[in-house]
Structures are given as C-alpha cells and as structure tokens.
Amino acid sequence: MLRLTWVQPEDLLGHELHQARLDGREPSRIEARWRAAGGLDAPDRAGASPARVSRYLRLLAEDLLDELADLPSTLTEDEPTDLARIRALCPDWPKPPAGPRPAPAPLALEAAWLGRAIGCLLGKPVEKLPLDGIRALARSADNWPLSTWFTARGVPEYLLARHPWNRRSARTSLAENIDGMPEDDDLDYPLLNLLLLKRHGKAFTTTDVARLWLEELPPGRAFTAERVAFRNLLSGIEPPHTARHRNPFREWIGALIRADVHGWTNPGDPAAAAAQAYRDAVLTHTANGVYAAMFTAATLASAATGTDDVHACLRTGRGVVPPRSRLARAIDHALRLAARHRDFDDVVDELHAAYGPTHHWVHALPNTALIVAALTHADGDFTGSICRAVSGGWDTDSNGATAGSVCGLLAGSPSALPEHWRAPLKNRLATTVAGFDGTGFDTLAHLTHLEAIRP
C-alpha cells in the first residue's frame, strides 16, 4: 500500500491543529470533534500514518482543515504575509546601496556552494534522529564535540540499533562512504533558482516559480509545504493560495532552504535579496516561514560583500523580520543564548527546552534559531559553525547547509575551507535537476556570478 507522505488529509489535520495554536488561533472545538470521531494526532517523525482511515474520517479531516483555515488569529497584525506590510513593520529595513553594487567574487561563490554542500552532507546521516542519539553516536566515535564527518567505525552495534542512521543517507554520507556530493533537496532548490534567474531574471514572479517547478521538479523530490503546494497547483489552485490551502507546513523550513541564490546574487543589497526570497517563498509559505527565507537571503547578501563579519550579516538579516513576530523573538533568544553560554551544548539544551515541546523538528522557528546560535557562537568559523548547527539536532542537513553557505561565503575562497571537508566531495554534485547532474562547484559558481552581474 502506498501511503504518500505529507498529503494525507487525516495527517494534515493533526499538523494543522498544532499550527493553529502556534499562529494565534483557538482550535479546541474543532479538535474535540476530530477526537470524538476517532481521529489521531499527526505522526511524530514520519510523513504519513501507516494505515488508511475510513472514508468518513478522511472527508471529516478535509472539512475540518477548511474550518481551521477560517479561524481568526490574534497575531495577524504583527505577522503579515503581504510584503508592503512586512516592510512597514520593520524600522531597520535595509536601504538600497548608494552606488553600484559590488560584484561577488567567483571564488567566494564557489566557497558558498561548497560550504552549503559540506554542511548538508555532514547532517544527512543523523537527520530525524533525536538529540541524545546524535550525541551518543558522535561520542562513541570519539567525535564530540563534533569536528568531522560521522562514521559507523567503532560505533557499538547496540547503539546503531537504538539510533539507526538515516536510511536513505548513510550509504552516501558517512565518512567511509562519501564519494562526491549526493542528491539532496537542500542543493536541488538552489539549482532550480539558478534556472529561475536564467529564464526570468531577478524580476521573476511567484507564478514563474510555479511554472518552473511543474516543468523541472519531480513531485517526489518535494516535501512538506512544497509537496502540498505542488498538489494544490495540480488541483488548479493559483499562487499564493497554494501556500494556504490545506497546508499546515507553511511555517516550516522549506522556504528558508530555497533562499541562498537570492542572497548570493544580490551582494550589498539585502532588501532586494529579501524581496526575491519573498516572491519565491509565498508559493509555499506564509508569515514566519516567509520571514525565515527573507532573513537568510538578506544575511547572505550582506555576507556577499566580503566586508561584513557574521554578526553584522545577522543583524542585517534581522532587519527584514517584523520585530514583534515569533521569528524575531526566536532569533533574539538565540543571540542571547549564544552570548551567555561558553558550552554550545548548553545553548542547544535551552533551545530544545524552549521549542521542542511545541514545534515540529522541521519548523522554521527552532531551526532558524539554531542556525543563528551556531553562527554566532562559532564567530563565523566554518568548521565551528557547521558542526554546531548539525550537533544541535532538528533538521540537521538543512541547518548545516545554511550555516555552511554563510560561512563559506565569508571565507571567500574554497581554499579557505579545510581540506578534510572539501576533498571527499570531489567537485561533483549529484541531482535530479535536469542538466546539472555531475556539475562541479566551480561551474555553479560561474553560473551564479553571471546571474549576480546580470542587469
């Protein structure tokens, strides 16, 4: 039996009940009807529950999803999705550059691509594992605090049985198995955005993003909010309603992992980078899910100048986030924790205590907070940042990828990244995006540079 993940209505409802409470809606009466009918909560880590439900329960789930969407939110004024309203709320919105924008250095872009791949690959084998499992596996291999690739060598069998590696990734992402960069959606989306800019330029629309996905993105390689938006497109729902219709994942991390190219191609113009990321993000996300993408793009646009340190870059990114939003509070909390604790494990423990009980492990709030804390605590150092981001758990490959992108860009050249990280990737990327499989990071940097300097 095929149980397609992230689209079964009975599973979406459980996620939507959680999301409703997070974004200021009161779902108790609707939840009571669901429970009385025998409805269950959403799966904790899987994308679909194992068994098919009755036709009645599925139809009820669809009706209740629509009712939940109509509930009023107490956070509407502080967390808009309209770009003009977002800008109006941000007193520190970045100003456009006074003169010509600096051209990003091709070597810095290569380091950004490579850093994104390295951070992603580091996190792949432990994706979906609980925090104690990640720590136990690394300690058993004498790799804690984390400083290099995960390995199964020397790890006791009983520990592997208790905390198995990610089943799709272990064969390509453990130290003993790495042979180039394997396919991953955290790299596929930057490739798609390269295609987007090549076809439509920086003035692309959200509809252009949708058309590109329909033409170039295999539906099976889209997950959570992206898969729901794909389903909505195929059902005739147009953007930006694709982000809202029966989409409980609209504040998860998916838009954030698509933001890098928007930052890389707008050096010194974080406002333009945030606006590009916005037009991309609203296909699939709303509110804090959109802000996370804008924050990442603006941070990277600041890093792409080659003149700002990581702390200045993060402050710039913070300027495009509405100040009373939940994401703003999460970023500020992460910055305080990183400044307060010498041991990063203490930072992680406090973040998990704050967000773990209420947020899914793929939600944008805890993951953005963890990325910010890692970059800040490591002072922008490449190894320190990616290892902290991955060792903090949650969406490990995505967090490592974003931290690696920022720090690679700041490093300025692939040669500035340690050899033990670079060598196993062999300047080769695997992907399902047509025309890019086997491409080198140097080639990707050249293509990105062309889009950055394109009028």
Q: How far apart are the C-alpha atoms of 275 and 59, rounded to whole Å?
A: 38
Closest of 131, 173, 168, 132 to residue 152, by C-alpha: 173
CA distance 93 to 213: 30
Q: How far is CA 276 from CA 9, 108, 185, 208, 437, in A?
A: 32, 21, 20, 12, 26
Tell me whether residue 70 is annotated as binding.
no
* Spatial separation of the C-alpha atoms in residues 407 and 141, rounded to whole Å: 26
Exposure b/e, 241-254, CB count within 10 A at least 16 = b: ebbbbbbbbbbbbb
Q: Which of 315, 316, 338, 318 is nearest to 328 (CA)?
A: 318
The sign of the torsion formed by the CA atoms of 339, 254, 360, 119 equals negative
Residue 25 · residue 75 · CB < 8 Å: no
**With contact defined as beta carbons under 8 Å apart, do 110 and 407 qualify?**
no
Give the helix, strand, coil percentages of the chain, each rounded to 5.
60, 0, 40
Give the gyration radius of the chain's Cα atoms: 21
* Biggest alpha carbon–alpha carbon distance for the chain: 63
- 395 labeled part of a ligand binding site: yes
Q: Report the candidate in 314, 298, 439 with the shortest Cα–Cα distance to residue 379.
A: 314
Question: Any binding-site annotation on 308?
Answer: no
Q: Is the dihedral of CA 390, 396, 397, 399 positive or negative?
A: negative
Residue 181's DSSP bridge partners are: 429
Which amino acids are annotated as binding site for Mg(2+), given as ranges?
A: 395, 397-398
